[in-house]
């Protein structure tokens, strides 16, 4: 009886332990699944914040981790070369590698020649002076560190010795900073260093201090602010040129602005509008206009596009742009052209996160569309349109039913289903490039400009106030347009400021546009 009671107790305890074990295993499985979901979310957030923004596999990117290896290789080659010279003797003359740099350095760079002659040109045999029979020439790239100089202006006065009434003197030229230190060239350098090369004023002040110049960032900011006042007519005329474009690209990015009295920033936005006809061989000037707005609503997009006479806006799938299509205009409502790069980016994320074969197939089909575009880039619109209708249209015709079929086979709550629904929701705008050869597949022209603003934002952290953000937008517009026109922005801003100060007539302001600038020393930045 005791044995039976013991067996029964053990059996009951065993059953209880098994039940508890089953509950623990179920809870553990749920915890593991939750951990997987969290790891997936964290992985996406890390890629969103830290990974490369472009999904293009640029071969140059793979060389970046090898730079240290190449540096070590250079040390090794220098040591080997010194060892060979030591074995042969310092004066040994043997066959040398050809001077491959000869003739490859830019022609506009000044040449400083030096002649290295033998210590004696007398014949060792006592025959007398030797005759020059040729020479070896090599070119090496040298640099003169940035050097300040003082520009002294003298205005002599003249008087007549026969009478005391006539005294003549040339008028003093007007300057951006009356009676101040900087020339127009120095102010242009400060502007481009911050808004083109992403160097905040305090870093520039540290660079100037190494030259013995005490220029604090407040002084630099004041100089740039005065230049903004004079450059406003230029940017206003650029916007008038942009209004004539038949198609514009549009995008927006955050603009942190310091909130007065709160010791923290508030979020504004930089809206970029770009006209770039180079993709279809157009002759219109490339123009970038950046605007600051305190928000991201559709009202700001409508305000910045007021007066534009074009028909198309190329943009991403942000819902605020949808309201543009309801605006009544003499030219007709805006037509939205959506971006295949944004669609592709979603499926790249699905492939990286989930290894989805469906996402991989979609990426292959989008790649086929871009292969067609690559073959006709820069061609006239009619040629581009004919190629698209012959090669891209069949891909598009097969893609939509295929996407709909895949959508019916996967869970509705999955991320992949969400991405497919996003793509199908933008379908009219995604296929509009099949109707006009001037349109592009993506919004890359404006995204490239937004990226530069983001780099300046990363280094400058925030704008001091909204007026500062507006000036930031204005100067970013000017520098970006210079770069798209292959114009050195430092030369352009310096000479344009000088022309405006010298009284360039407002009626001929078009002659001062960046795409009209023709300076022989100017090169693409």
Cβ neighbors of 417 (< 8 A, separation 6 or more) are: 407, 410, 411
Half-sphere exposure of 186 (CA within 13 A, CB side): 20
Task: Name the average pLDDT for the chain.
Answer: 82
Edge-first strand order for the sheet with 264-275 is 287-293, 264-275, 247-259, 312-315, 335-338
pLDDT of res. 5: 73
- Please report, to the nearest 10 degrees, the dihedral formed by the alpha carbons of residues 171, 177, 178, 179 taken in order: -110
Cβ neighbors of 184 (< 8 A, separation 6 or more) are: 175, 176, 493, 494, 495, 497, 498, 501
Which backbone phi and psi does 426 adopt, to 5 degrees?
-100, 10
DSSP bridge pairs for 292: 270
3-state secondary structure of 239: helix
Element (H, E) at 498: helix 489-501
Cα 313 to Cα 324: distance, rounded to the nearest angstrom: 9
> Are the beta carbons of 441 and 254 closer than 8 angstroms?
no
pLDDT band at 524 (very low <50, low <70, confident <90, very high): very low
- The encoded tokens of residue 126 equal 């006592």
DSSP bridge pairs for 275: 287
Q: Which range in 163-172, 278-287, 392-401, 511-520 is most confidently predicted, on average pLDDT?
A: 392-401
Name the one residue in this structure whose structure tokens are 């030591």: 86
pLDDT of res. 458: 64
Q: Between residues 460 and 236, which one has the greater pLDDT?
A: 236
List the one residue out of 71, 207, 60 whose CA is nearest residue 148.
207
DSSP bridge pairs for 269: 254, 293
Mind listing the pLDDT tens digit for each residue in 243-294?
988 889 998 888 777 666 666 677 888 889 999 888 888 888 899 999 888 8
Mind listing the pLDDT tens digit for each residue in 177-187?
888 888 899 99
- Give the C-alpha distances (Å, rounded to integers) separating 416 from 212, 412, 422, 448: 60, 9, 10, 28
The b/e string for 255-264 (b: 16+ C-beta within 10 A; e otherwise) is bbbbeeeeee
Stated pTM of the model: 0.75
- The encoded tokens of residue 53 equal 């923004």
pLDDT of res. 122: 86
Q: Is the pLDDT of residue 96 over 60?
A: no
Cβ neighbors of 199 (< 8 A, separation 6 or more) are: 193, 207, 459
Q: Between residues 28 and 358, which one has the greater pLDDT?
A: 358
Q: Is the pLDDT of residue 103 over 50?
A: yes
Mind listing the pLDDT tens digit for each residue in 452-494?
777 776 665 555 566 778 888 899 899 999 999 999 999 999 9
Report the pLDDT averaged over residues 420-431.
92
Q: Between residues 141 and 191, which one has the greater pLDDT?
A: 191
Mind listing the pLDDT tens digit for each residue in 376-418?
998 999 999 999 999 999 999 999 999 999 988 888 878 888 9
> Are the beta carbons of 276 and 251 closer than 8 angstroms?
no
Cα 365 to Cα 371: distance, rounded to the nearest angstrom: 10
pLDDT of res. 213: 85
Cβ neighbors of 416 (< 8 A, separation 6 or more) are: 350, 354, 356, 358, 359, 410
Q: Which long-range contacts (CB under 8 A, 24 or more apart) does 133-138 make?
A: 136/99, 137/99, 137/102, 138/99, 138/101, 138/102
């Amino acid at each position: 009886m005791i044995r039976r009671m013991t067996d029964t107790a053990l059996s009951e305890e065993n059953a209880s332990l098994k039940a508890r074990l089953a509950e623990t295993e179920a809870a553990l499985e749920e915890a593991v699944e939750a951990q997987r979901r969290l790891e997936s979310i964290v992985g996406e957030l890390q890629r969103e914040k830290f990974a490369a923004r472009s999904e293009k596999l640029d071969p140059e990117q793979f060389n970046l981790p090898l730079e240290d290896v190449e540096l070590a290789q250079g040390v090794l080659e220098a040591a080997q070369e010194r060892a060979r010279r030591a074995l042969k003797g310092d004066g040994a003359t043997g066959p040398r590698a050809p001077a491959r740099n000869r003739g490859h350095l830019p022609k506009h760079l000044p040449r400083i020649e030096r002649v290295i002659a033998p210590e004696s040109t007398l014949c060792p045999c006592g025959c007398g002076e030797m005759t020059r029979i040729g020479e070896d020439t090599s070119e090496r790239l040298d640099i003169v560190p940035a050097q300040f100089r003082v520009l002294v202006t003298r205005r002599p006065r003249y008087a007549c010795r026969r009478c005391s009434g006539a005294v003549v003197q040339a008028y003093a030229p007007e300057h951006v900073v009356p009676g101040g230190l900087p020339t127009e060239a120095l102010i242009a350098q400060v502007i481009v260093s911050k808004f083109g090369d992403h160097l905040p004023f305090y870093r520039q002040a540290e660079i100037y201090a190494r030259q013995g110049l005490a220029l604090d960032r407040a002084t630099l900011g004041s100089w740039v602010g005065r230049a903004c006042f004079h450059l406003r007519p230029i940017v206003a005329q650029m916007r008038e040129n942009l209004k004539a474009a038949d198609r514009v690209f549009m995008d927006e990015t955050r603009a942190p602005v310091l909130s007065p009295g709160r010791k923290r920033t508030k979020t504004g936005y930089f809206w970029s509008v770009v006209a770039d006809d180079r993709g279809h061989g157009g002759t219109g000037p490339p123009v970038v206009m950046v605007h600051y707005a305190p928000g991201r609503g559709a009202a700001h997009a409508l305000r910045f596009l007021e007066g534009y006479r074009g028909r198309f806006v190329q943009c991403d799938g942000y819902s605020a742009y949808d309201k543009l299509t309801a605006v009544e205009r003499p030219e007709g409502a805006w037509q939205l052209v959506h971006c295949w790069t944004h669609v592709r980016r979603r499926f790249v994320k699905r492939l990286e996160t989930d290894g989805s074969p469906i996402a991989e197939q979609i990426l292959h089909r989008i790649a086929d569309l871009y292969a067609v575009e690559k073959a006709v880039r820069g061609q006239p619109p009619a040629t581009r349109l004919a190629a698209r209708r012959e090669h891209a249209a069949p891909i598009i015709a097969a893609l939509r039913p295929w996407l709909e079929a895949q959508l019916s086979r996967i869970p509705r709550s999955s991320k992949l289903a969400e991405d497919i629904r996003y793509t199908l929701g933008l379908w009219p705008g995604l296929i509009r490039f099949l109707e006009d050869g001037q349109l592009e597949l993506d919004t890359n022209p404006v995204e490239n400009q937004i990226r530069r603003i983001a780099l300046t934002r990363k280094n400058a952290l925030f704008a001091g106030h909204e007026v500062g953000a507006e000036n930031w937008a204005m100067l970013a517009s000017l520098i970006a347009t210079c770069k798209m026109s292959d114009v050195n922005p430092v030369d352009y801003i310096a000479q344009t400021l000088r022309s405006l100060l010298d009284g360039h007539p407002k009626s001929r302001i078009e002659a001062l546009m960046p795409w009209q600038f023709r300076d022989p020393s100017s090169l693409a930045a």
